[in-house]
Amino acid sequence: MSKKGFMTSIEKLCEDVTTELGYELVDVEYLKESGDYYLRVYIHKPGGVNLDDCQIVSERLSERLDDEDLLQKAYYLEVSSPGLDRPLKTDRDLERNLGKEVEVSLYKAVDGVKKYEGILKSYSGDSVDLETVDKMVAIPRETISLIRLTIKF
């Protein structure tokens, strides 16, 4: 199985389990770090994710992963909230954060700028629209390397 096909199967299984339990799957990572494999699953629910939520998802996911036997090597399963500084990757992430202040980093400059901060006003398949301090900016999605919430202390 190709790496892409493998990850698609893992993500589908994680999506099925989290949805069944009433959570939203935010992201899945399968990484090798210092010789060990890690399957990291990030979940969301309105009002936030707590330790009990992570435990419930971890237990059910562990059972399903064992049943499906997709991972042939020993691994550590980690289930957590994605955190405030996580990248906004999906349309669901963007929808949930409309009206909030975000930072957008670009692969290449738009109007001579490679990093924008502003209020996320809208998005489409082609662009993300921000209201900055002095203007509205439509940023082509293919130029975006990272979008995340602005964190101010």
pLDDT in tens, 40-88: 999 999 888 999 999 999 999 999 999 988 888 899 999 999 887 888 9
Q: Would you state the pLDDT for residue 18? A: 96
d(CA 136, CA 118): 9
Enclosing domain of residue 10: 3-80
Mean pLDDT of the chain: 92
| DSSP conformation class of 147 | E
> Taking residues 10-23, what's their average pLDDT?
95
pLDDT > 90? residue 137: yes
Rounding to the nearest 10 degrees, give the CA dihedral for residues 68, 73, 77, 82. Answer: -100
Q: Say yes or no: 69 and 98 in one domain.
A: no
Last residue of a domain, which of 30, 47, 80? 80
pLDDT > 70? residue 132:
yes
Q: Are residues 38 and 95 in the same domain?
A: no
**Two tokens, residue 6:** 């493998």
Residues 60 and 104 both lie in one domain: no
Separation in Å, CA 146 to CA 18, 91, 99, 116, 124: 25, 14, 18, 11, 16
Residue 132's CATH number = 2.30.30.100
Confidence (pTM): 0.75
- Same domain assignment for residues 58 and 106: no
